[in-house]
Structures are given as C-alpha cells and as structure tokens.
Chain A
Amino acid sequence: MIPQSSRGERFTSYEVDAFEVPGGREEDWRFTPLKRLRGLHDGSATATGSFAVAVDSGVEGVTVETVGREDERLGAAGVPADRVAAQAWSSFTEATVVTVAADTRPEGPVHVTVTGPGQGTTAYGHVQVRAERFADAVVVLDYRGAGTVADNVEFVVGESARLSVVTVHDWDDDAVHVGAQHSAVGRDATLRHLSVTLGGDLVRVSSTVNYRERGGDAELLGLYFADAGQHLEHRLLVDHSVPNCRSNVLYKGALQGEGAHTVWIGDVLIQAAAEGTETFELNRNLILTDGARADSVPNLEIETGEIEGAGHASATGRFDDEQLFYLQARGIPEDVARRLVVRGFFGEILQKITVPEVRERLEAAIDAELAAVGA
C-alpha cells in the first residue's frame, strides 16, 4: 500500500492550533468516529475533572514526583503528532514522573494507576516513566474508571536500560480515552511494551517509538477484545532513524457483537540512515460473531536496502466452526471449546507476559468477555 505521505515527514507540534480540527477524512482520523470523541478533537472539551495518578510508593530505586508543566524533562520522548495529543499537552496542569534510578532493579512491578475523572467529566493528563541507564524495571500502567480522557505518556529508556511496560485499558463501559504514547529508546536499551485494551466506549491509542542511538530494541505487543459497540483503535509508528536497531510488533484482537470495531495501523519507517535494521510486524484479528469489523493496515516504508530484515503481515479471520466441531466431537462443551480456541489465539502473547498477576488477570478478563455473550 502506498501511503498518502511519508510517515517520516509527519507534522508534530506542542500547539493545539497548529493542527486543523479533524473532519474525519484525514488519514489519521478516517477510522475514528469523531462524534464519539466528546469534543476532545475540536477544543470544546474543557477540563472539568481530575486525572488521578496513583503510584506504588516506597519501592526501592523508584522515585515518584508530581511536577508542573515547566519541568524540563517533559517532552523528552516525543512531541504530539495529532490535535488531541496537542490538546492534552496544552491542557494538563501537573505531570507524574516515575524514575527508576540508574543501575537498579526494583523488586516486582511498579504499579501506576490512572483513574478517570468520572462520568460526564473530562480530564487531561501527562505521565513520564524514566528508566535511567542500566536500570531494569517492570511498570504496569493501569487505566480504569469513567469519563473522557486525553493524555500523553512518555517512556524514556536510558542507555542499556531494560523497561517492560504493560498498559491496561480497562475502562468502564462509557469511557472515552484518546492517548498518545511516546517512547525514546536509548543506546543498547530494550523496551518491551504490552498494550491491553478491553474496556471503554472508545479507546484510541497512538504509540510512537523513536530510537536515540544504535542498538535499541523494541518489542510491542498488543491484545484487545472489542464487544458490541466498542471502538478500539491502535496506531503504531516505529521510526527507525538510526542504525542497528530492532523492532518486533505483534498485536492480536478478538471482536464480538454488533458494532464492535477495531482498528490497527502499523507504520514502520526505516530511514536512509538506519542500516542494519531488523523489523517485523504482525496483526491478527479473530471475529467471533457477525456484525463486528476489524480494520488492519500494516505499512512498511524502507529508505535503505542495507537492512537485516523487514516484514509485515496482517490477517483477519472468522471464528472457525470446524475447530469448534472438532473439539466438541471430543466431548468438550461448547463454552469450554470457545475458550480454548480464543485463549489459543492469544496464547503467543499471553506466554510472553512475565508478570504472573497480569497474565492471570488477562486470562480471567478474556474468559469474562466470552462469558458475557453466553458463548
């Protein structure tokens, strides 16, 4: 597929007014039902509630700060690339900065919980997670509650640091969340990011990965499950601008119910300077019932031939009744059989989750989703 314009030349700005109000035909917005954004995109959604961030305190090696807009560290991982992200940037009043000190490896995961402002209210927020050089940490960023939210989240991964992030969007049914995630991967650093999206009326997450120096490695995994009426959108841009970096993207989604809609956009850009790049991206969707729709657009742009490897793939399929018949013919009841197949579908992602509590929670959530339609 030929992109409308190179992702490498895309416009970024901290200023809201630098972006046109989207009308719905723009490449960035054409899949998003703007009417359901509650004014996040056109300036009419003023902040009426708070973006409440709670972080585990007292974890050795981890510092949590609440800072003002003027803090110089903010923006280190990236600049807003769409109007809602710029709106969030212009609108937040304080940011949470979580720092994992250099050469430390905190015991267990660091939990960052964001609670929505509540039904009928709007909030803007900003979170930055910093892993300083040679730090090694797991951070769980957990979104829950109700309301309308837009935010920017930054992951700054220092030289040779390892940062594993699990982002869970488990909003109440009526929540609307438009998030921008910016990752900056330092020299020989590793970012492992898993994005889980389950709850909310509309969730749109745009994630951008930038490499600061050679040797960066980013693994971006995603798991989403859309029910009737839900719009779940994931947009990724991996920008290989420096040599010898790796990226691996694997997003899997299941959909069920009338009007369930998922969107996956996977842009990978290998710039002319990025020799020795190795990248692969894959999106798979499993449609469990009629009336659901999955859009999937992988896009690989290569400006140099001197790479290790690059590939992309996308597949969307319906639930296979032959699999169901086979399992049932062995005596396995239909609900158990469906669970087996869907868990099997998500298996390669679940297997990679190193935090047992997160894995168990997700397995339970998947089972609950399936139980909800009486499958």
Chain B
Amino acid sequence: MATLEIKDLHVSVRTDDAAKEILRGVNLTVNSGETHAIMGPNGSGKSTLAYAIAGHPKYEVTSGSVLLDGEELLELEVDERARAGLFLAMQYPVEVPGVSMSNFLRTAATAARGEAPQVRHWVKEVKQAMADLDIDPSFAERSVNENFSGGEKKRHEILQLDLLKPKFAVLDETDSGLDVDALRVVSEGVNRYTANKDKGVLLITHYTRILKHITPDFVHVFAGGRVVESGGAELATQLEEEGYVRFTGAKESAAV
C-alpha cells in the first residue's frame, strides 16, 4: 500500500511584480485504493494544487510538504516525481509538434519502467489501451496532442495513465469539455486504472457529473486555497443541490 500525504502546503504563484499566495495550508492524505474528489468553485486553487504537486515551475511552494510513501516530492525534479509514481492528467494537455504519440508513449514508458518495453508486447499493449478508449489507431503516428479536439486530448491523458500505471493520479478537470460519450469512455478508463484497488486518485472537478461515473470514497470542498470541508460521496450530492454558496458567499452552481 502506498500513501500520498499533503501537509500544510502553502503555494504562491509568481507574477511579474509580486508573489501571490494561492494555497493556504492544504492537508490531505490519499491511500492507494482510495478515490478523493476535490470540488470547489473557480479560482479556489484546485488546479494550483495539482500543478504544485507535479512541480510546475510557475508555482512556488513557500512551506509544507508532499510525501509519497515518506519521500519528499517537493525536493524532486518534475520527471523524478513522475518516476516516483505521481501522474498529472492535465486540463489543457500541451501540444508537442513533430513528436509522434507512439514515440512519446514509448519514451515515457521507458522512463517509468526503467527499461525500454519489448517491442512486440508494447505494440499490443498500446493497441489494446487505445481500443479501450475508442482512440483510432492513426493517432499513434500523429504529433502529441497537435490539433486534437478537447475530448481527444483527454482520452490521451487517460491512455497515458493506463500505460504508465502510476501509484497516484491527479486528474485535473478531466471532465471539462467532454461530451456524454467521451465522459463515459474516459471515466471507464479511470475505473479500469483503479479496479485492483492498488491505486490512489485525486479527482479535481468543478462539477458533479463525472462523479456519476466515478464513485469517490471521499469528497473535499476546496475554497480559498484550502480544504474547508470533507465527507463521503453524499457531500457531492449536497453540493449539486446547493452549490458552493455556503463556502464562498457567492452563488456558484456545482451541478451541470
């Protein structure tokens, strides 16, 4: 069993003139086998949490700790964190022109596994994973995310999740911009990833609709840069009905 522990995390974003504090003491523990949904209104710092854990250079951790099985992730480079078992499915996956998806996947798998996967097995593995996500095989030869639709990008994020099999996955607004079918396909991909109860998921979302496909064990409400309330799946239902008004003082719906 593995544990991802976020302790009193404070994070600022660097702007041209000053640093602005966004996360103000986040505490959260995710064990493998658990899915935690983090829900919150726009601007509450949910995505900052995701990027700060992954090590994006734009965010500066001013204090606190992120431990993966006791190892301090904040002292590691971005790629070292990933190899330690952390995965970030991004809200806006980046286009990398000229680098084919198949080359990218193979390079990432080589890094994650510590050795190049055997060609024959690998080709089969990728084919199957793509089929599971209704991704046309022709995407393998296209440049990473280049001219992909929003839904295609999200499917490919989950494709990487499936192939890299990290210990923990942070899914940042993976449901945004997905139509009903794509949402189902992507959710099924996440559920396959967690099926053996040996993976931990931090599911960041504004809306409750993805929670109809992926059942969270815990729901945390995020506001003002920290977790303000935690509960079970029923908290999501409550948010769907009431919105975030109780936490923000402003009316903002959590329902679709």
Contacts and interface: CB of A to CB of B under 8 A. Distances in A.
B57 interface: yes
B96 A341 contact: yes
Given A325-B57, A325-B78, A331 B98 contact: no
Nearest to B166: A331
B97 A333 contact: no
A345 B77 CA distance: 25
A346 interface: yes
Interface residues of B, number: 29
B1 interface: no
A332 B107 contact: yes
Given A332-B107, A334-B79, A340 B57 contact: no
Contacts of A325: 54, 56-57, 78, 94
Nearest to A348: B98
A160 B97 CA distance: 36
A162 B104 CA distance: 36
- Residue among A325, A331, A343 with the highest chain B CB neighbour number at 10 A: A331
B79 A337 contact: yes
A235 to B, nearest CB: 26
B140 interface: no
A60 B98 CA distance: 38
Interface in B65-94: 77-79, 81-83, 87-88, 90, 93-94
A328 B95 CA distance: 14
B82 A329 contact: yes
Contact of A340 (B56, B83, B103, B112): B103
A344 interface: yes
B219 interface: no
B97 A344 contact: yes
Contacts, number: 82
Contact of B83 (A326, A331, A343): A331
Interface string A309-329: 000000000001111011111
Interface string B207-234: 0000000000000000000000000000
B67 to A, nearest CB: 19
Contacts of A336: 107, 111
A326 B90 contact: yes
A336 B79 CA distance: 11
B144 to A, nearest CB: 8
Contacts of A25: none
Contacts of B99: 340-341, 343-344, 347
Contacts of A326: 90, 93-94, 96
Contacts of B81: 329
Interface of A: 320-323, 325-334, 336-337, 340-341, 343-348
21 contacts: A322-B94, A325-B56, A325-B57, A326-B90, A327-B96, A328-B55, A328-B78, A328-B79, A329-B55, A330-B87, A330-B111, A330-B164, A331-B79, A331-B164, A332-B82, A336-B107, A336-B111, A340-B96, A341-B96, A344-B98, A345-B97
Interface of B: 54-57, 77-79, 81-83, 87-88, 90, 93-99, 103-104, 107-108, 111-112, 143, 160, 164
Given A321-B57, A323-B94, A332-B82, 6 more contacts: A327-B107, A328-B82, A329-B79, A329-B81, A340-B104, A346-B98
The 8 closest A-B pairs by CB, nearest first: A344-B98, A347-B98, A331-B82, A328-B78, A331-B111, A326-B94, A344-B99, A330-B108
